[in-house]
Structures are given as C-alpha cells and as structure tokens.
Structure 1
C-alpha cells in the first residue's frame, strides 16, 4: 500500500506573520536607504538584513522603494479606521483620542528620516504620495457615511482632500523640523499632535 502523500515544505505563513515580515523588510530597507542611499541598496542586501532571500523580498514588494510602504501606511490606515469607527454624536477630534494616547499616527525616528529622504528620492516620494492618494477615497467614504450623503456627492471628497493634505503637510513639517539639532524632539511631537488636531477640527467644521 502506498502511503498518502502529505504536503511538504514550509507551512504557509499566517496573515499576522506576513504583516510582520513586511514590516521587518520595510525597516531593513529604510536603514539601508539612510546608511548608503537608495541607488546603492539592492534587494539582496535588504533580504540579508532580515535573513531572507531577495526572491522573498520581491514576493512582498514589486520594487525596493515600495518596501517602505508599511512604514508610510501605518498612520494613514489608523486615521481611516478611526473615521470608520467615528461614533454618532462624538466630536471628530475625540474619535482620534486613542490614537494620540497609543502614539500610533505620530511618526517615529525611522519614519521621520524616511519622509526626509522623499525630498531627494523620487521613487520614495512616489510611494509616499501614492499612500496618501489611495487613502483619500477611504476617508471620503467614511465622511460621506457620517454625513448621510451619497457616495458621489463632492463634499466628502473635498473634506477628505483637505484632511489628507493637512495630515501629509503636518507629518512632513514635523519630519523636517526634527532633523534640526536645535529642535527638541518632544516639543516637535507635541506640535505635530496639535497640527493634526487642527486638521481634524477643520474637517469637522466642513461637516457642520
């Protein structure tokens, strides 16, 4: 009797492990980009930094610049989730209190350094802008639902664009300021939190 053939090889990764791997690759990529520049960094080097092959890196990301996407998208995804969970009768600013407390949307040193790189690295700039561009319709849908407006109403799209632009500008301003030796990092982060709250307040004013 022939034994039944079972599945061989490595077991499939869980979604949680895939997410963790993407983040590991992202952090390795940004460390290399900062240390030696984007042009000098290869997929092989990124893979070696996390103990995987270049083939594995390309399985997760189409280009070396796109490897940093998880670091860019974490804060944007958190904002979108908070908008979707915004409770009736709750001021918009209060819907984000848990994010400030958890320090989710305030970028850490690695993200700040990465945002600064987008000034001179077109490939990274494209990824940064694409992350926000893809988030805008998500913001708009959440705001439309909140206001009881149809999906094709232009007002939620305008509110989302305003919020999105304010978020991006605030994070970029924070990243550039924290690169200055004379700027206190804690004060800069407090300033960023205030700026983000202003953006939310402006969006709430548009909602009426």
Structure 2
C-alpha cells in the first residue's frame, strides 16, 4: 500500500512538472508553436512518457489548473467552522486568489493562468481543459459544502449543487475578468477582490444555507 501511494505521488509530481513546463513554453513560444515533443524534452521525459500522461499538448496544463482550483476548494474546507457559507466562500477567495506579499511563486502561477486563459479564448481545446477544471472544482466544492452543512451524503442535493455551482461561477467570472485585463493580481481589480464582488452579488443564493 505504501509503495502504491509513493508511486501515485511520483506520478502526480511528474504530471505537475510536465504541466508547469507546458505552461512556461506556451507563454514563451505560444500555443501553436509548441509541440508535445518540445514539452517532453524540456520536462526531461520521453515523448512516450508524455503521451502516457496526456493525450494532447493542451491537456498537459490540466494539473496546473487543477491545483489552482483545489486551492480555492481547500480554502473553503479550511475556513472557520462557525462562518456561514457566504462568509466562508469570501474568506476562501481572499486566501486563495491573492498572492501573499513576497510569494513570487503564487504571483507567477496567477500570471500563467492569465496567459493560458487568454490563449483559451482562441483555442477550443485549451478552453475545454479550463472548463473541465472548473467543473471538477464545482463537484468537489459541493462535497465540501455538504460536509460543512452536516450533510456528508448531501453533495448531490439540488440546494448544495446550486450553491456550489453559483459560487464556482462567481469565482470563475472573477478570474476570467481579471485575466482579460492587465490589472495586477492584488488590489481592487485583482481576482480576489473581483471574486468577493461576484460572491456578494450572488448572496441571495449563497445565503440559502
């Protein structure tokens, strides 16, 4: 069991390393000019290894987007238990969508996301990867919200799905709006501040539990 867990962690680490390499190359060279073989070479893996993990070059960034989405959901999970859901969601957005002072890695990751989302506007394949990441995050958020409400088996309920979907859409709108502009990652036009505005606008639904 231990060896299996270690193997899975190594696979996940390899996938994420390839994803970061792909994102860097897409930003540096552009999506069209970057081949899957270029990503594999830069990541230090064989092309057959790349294709063992990803079917296309666009799919290679999926783990990177998933990490960002998971940070948002985990921040909701870790929000103080006594916070009402709307407050917990805003708390999580503030914690996960704004880089801490001096956190250059988080700031760089957000800039990669901005560049990738801009590319996605011109690439249906890349847009599909983003859509899948958002959908998966919404599904996980529903599980987290159900647990916070004391309904561990209620993630499939209409109310929980609605709250998770609206919250996810609010955060997605904020990130996409920020990505389409040139505002810094912090401040009133950053993704965290925009997410708070969107979540406040959706408070009638989010305050349902």
Same fold (TM over 0.5): yes
Partners of 1:207 and 1:122 in 2: how far apart? 35
Instruction: Answer yes or no: is the 8 Å Cα contact 1:87–1:95 preserved in 2.
Output: no
Please name the residue that 1:207 is paired with: 208
Shift of 1:33: 2.7
* Higher RCO (C-alpha 8 Å, min separation 6): 2
Provide the aligned length of Structure 1 versus Structure 2: 192
Instruction: Answer yes or no: is the 8 Å Cα contact 1:170–1:196 preserved in 2.
Output: yes
Instruction: Answer yes or no: is the 8 Å Cα contact 2:167–2:206 preserved in 1.
Output: no
Choose 1 or 2 for highest CA Rg: 1
Partners of 1:200 and 1:94 in 2: how far apart? 11
Instruction: Answer yes or no: is the 8 Å Cα contact 2:25–2:39 preserved in 1.
Output: yes
Q: TM-score when scaled to structure 1? A: 0.76
Query: What RMSD over aligned residues (CA atoms) do the two structures have, in Å?
Result: 3.0
Partners of 2:156 and 2:9 in 1: how far apart? 35
Instruction: Answer yes or no: is the 8 Å Cα contact 1:43–1:54 preserved in 2.
Output: yes
Q: Helix, strand or coil for the counterpart of 1:23?
A: helix
Please name the residue that 2:41 is paired with: 48
Residues 133-153 of structure 1, C-alpha deviation per residue, up to 9 Å, x if partnerless?
Answer: 122121122222323453442
Shift of 1:21: 2.4
Shift of 1:187: 5.4
Aligned with 1:155 (options 154, 159, 176): 159
Unpaired runs of 5+ in structure 1?
A: 1-11
Aligned with 2:115 (options 102, 113, 116): 113
Q: Is residue 2:136 matched to residue 1:134?
A: yes
Instruction: Answer yes or no: is the 8 Å Cα contact 1:47–1:57 preserved in 2.
Output: yes
Please name the residue that 1:197 is paired with: 196
Aligned with 1:172 (options 171, 176, 184): 176
Q: TM-score when scaled to structure 2? A: 0.76
Q: Helix, strand or coil for the counterpart of 1:207?
A: coil
